[in-house]
Amino acid sequence: MNFPRFMVLFHLSFLLLGLLSLFMIATNIISLDWSAFMIIMIAVLVNALFEVYWIDEAGRTRVEKPKPVSALKRVFPMVSFVVPAHNNEQDIAQCVNSLLKCAAEYRGPSEIIVVDDGSTDNTLDVAWATINSKRGELMQIRSTAVKHMSSLGKDEAVRAGVNKAMGEFIAVIDASISCDPAWFSNLVDYMSATGQKVVSSQVQPLRATLPPVPTTITLYRADVLRRQLNEKPNIQA
């Protein structure tokens, strides 16, 4: 409802009733004492003033309040999955497939970067075969795999992946684990909502170990991770 226009009609109706009452008094249709006459005169004047005010309000351009942005219109940050791997031939396919699923269900842009740290098995070939098997189906996801000619260590593998990453958020994922899409989206939502720079969560590896050794997935803001890489010779991922 347009409130100024409603008030214009409201005060106009009372103004007309007041004028009608004065006309009926003047033509002796009704007879009132002076106190009633003065009350009618005051009512007519007051309603006339409010009528002028609300006509002016109704004529002004109304500025609509911005509508809140729905969840569907929310802008989701780009996420880069960096996967350091060394002799993970048995696990890398399941790991990459889980990340492709995460990327496909994530509502923002994403990319997957596998860094083979000088493996002596077929880790790189399996990683590429897994990526290429989904290339036509998931063309929107940028996926790549690179290899160090010799093993430089996990920290250097992370560093190499981060140097290629384009995302605002960077998730460091061990090649021996599988990532759940719903869990990952919750992790991104948590970081976005709290404004934290780094969040971590533990998951079980793909292959059972005795005793069970959980693996950590860490999600960084890209600028924070790059700062850590520049300030420290090594980073524990």
> In the block, which residue shows the tokens 């010799």?
150
**pLDDT value at residue 1:** 47
Tens digits of per-residue pLDDT, 37-77? 676 677 667 666 665 665 666 666 455 555 554 544 567 88
d(CA 204, CA 212): 8
Q: Ranked by mean pLDDT, which of 123-132, 134-143, 192-201 comes out on top?
A: 123-132
Write the pLDDT tens digit of every residue in 78-124: 999 999 999 999 999 999 999 999 999 988 899 999 999 999 999 99
Q: Give residue 8's pLDDT band: very low, low, confident or very high (50, 70, 90).
A: low
In whole angstroms, what is the distance from residue 10 CA to residue 101 CA?
Answer: 61
d(C-alpha 147, C-alpha 114), whole Å: 8
The verdict on whether omega for the bond into residue 109 sits within 30 degrees of 0, i.e. cis, is: no
Contact 79, 172 (CB under 8 A): no
Query: Does residue 142 come out as left (phi exceeding 0), alpha (psi in the -120 to 50 range) or beta?
Result: beta
Q: What is the DSSP string of 17-45?
A: HHHHHHHHHHTTSS---HHHHHHHHHHHH
Strands (E), 90-193: 110-117, 142-148, 169-172
Q: Is the pLDDT of residue 157 over 80?
A: yes
Tokens of 77: 């940050």
In DSSP terms, 143 is beta-bridged to 112
Contact 90, 205 (CB under 8 A): no
Residue 176 pLDDT: 87
Place of tokens 């061990």: 174
Pairing of strands 142-148, 110-117: parallel
Residues 147-175 have a mean pLDDT of 93
φ, ψ of residue 147 in degrees (nearest 5): -140, 135
Average pLDDT over residues 2-19: 61
CB 232 within 8 A of CB 159: no
Q: Compute the distance between CA of residue 85 and CA of residue 78 in angstroms, rounded to an integer.
A: 22
pLDDT class for 197, splitting at 50, 70, 90? very high
CA distance 40 to 18: 6
- By the 8 A CB rule, do 145 and 116 touch? yes
Residue 158 pLDDT > 90: yes
In tens, the pLDDT along 166-193 reads: 999 999 999 988 888 888 888 888 888 8
Over residues 23-32, the pLDDT tens digits come to: 676 776 766 6
Query: Any idea which of 42-51, 143-152, 179-188, 219-228 has the lowest mean pLDDT?
Result: 42-51
| Average pLDDT value for residue range 5-13 | 60
3: pLDDT strictly greater than 70: no
State how beta strands 215-221 and 198-203 pair. Answer: antiparallel
Q: What is the pLDDT of residue 4?
A: 56
Residue 210: pLDDT band (50, 70, 90) is very low
C-alpha dist (Å) from residue 34 to 18, 39, 40: 15, 9, 10
CATH 3.40.980.10 assigned to 71-231: no
